[in-house]
Amino acid sequence: MARNGRNEFAEIDQAIRINERKAEVEELAGGAMDGFERPDCPPDIAEQFWQHMAAYEKAPHTSHFQLLIDRGIALPPAEELSDRQLHAKLWEVIHELAKMQTYLLSTNHYSDRELYDQLLSDTLHEDMVDGLPGMTCVIDLVSSGSEEDIENYLRYYADAESRRHWRQSFPNGKLPKRQKPPYDRDRLLPKG
C-alpha cells in the first residue's frame, strides 16, 4: 500500500486537493490556468503554489495611493509644494512604500518633481492585491513596455550586454546613445 514512504491514499487526496485548488483559481481568474505548473513539479510544491494562487485571486484589490492615504500620508499635488517640500514629501513616500514592502527602481531619469508627479498621477494608482503576507512589490519606472520607457531603459540603465541583445533582436531599431542619468537617486533608495 505504501509507495516510496508515502501512503497511496494520501497521494490521491493530495492530487484531488491540487485539482480542486486549480479549478477554484481558474474560476476566480475567469479562465484556464494552463502552463503555470511543470509536469515534473513535486506535489507538495504544486499544492502550495495553487493555495497561494487562490489566496492571491481572493485578496482585496486596492492601490498604493489608497494604502498611503490609509496610513495617514498626505499626498498634495506637486504644484502645491516648493522644491524643498516636494523633496521631503517624495522621500516620505519612498520610505513609507518601503515599509509596505514596495520598492522603486530606475528613477534616475526623473527629477524629484517629475518622479513625484509620475507617482501621484499614474504609478501609485495601479491596481494591486492587498493583504498577502510576505508579498514584495517592485516598481520599475522603465518597465511599462512603452516606447518612452524602452528608450529610457536603453539610454540610462541597460548594460552593454542588454544593449547588444536589444540590437540583435531589433536590428532596424534606433538604439539611443548610452548616457549617464541626469539624477543620482537609485543608489539611495531602500532595497528589499
* Tens-digit pLDDT profile for residues 122-150: 999 998 887 667 788 999 999 999 999 99
Q: Half-sphere exposure (CA, 13 Å, Cβ side) for 168? A: 6
Helix (H, G, I), strand (E, B) or coil at 140: strand
Pairing of β 137-140 and β 102-105: parallel
Distance CA 157, CA 185 (A): 13
pLDDT digits (tens, 9 = 90+) for 156-177: 999 999 999 999 999 998 999 9
Tell me what pLDDT residue 4 has: 57
Q: Which residues of the chain have pLDDT under 50?
A: 1-2
Tell me what pLDDT residue 1 has: 45
Q: For residues 64 and 135, is the Cβ–Cβ distance under 8 A? A: no
Among 172, 173, 136, residue whose Cα is nearest residue 153: 173
Tell me what pLDDT residue 5 has: 55
Count of Cβ atoms closer than 10 Å to residue 46 Cβ: 20
DSSP conformational letter for 125 = G
Q: For residues 78 and 125, is the Cβ–Cβ distance under 8 A? A: no
Q: Residue 168: what are its φ and ψ, rounded to 5°? A: -70, -40
Considering the chain, what is the average pLDDT of its residues?
90
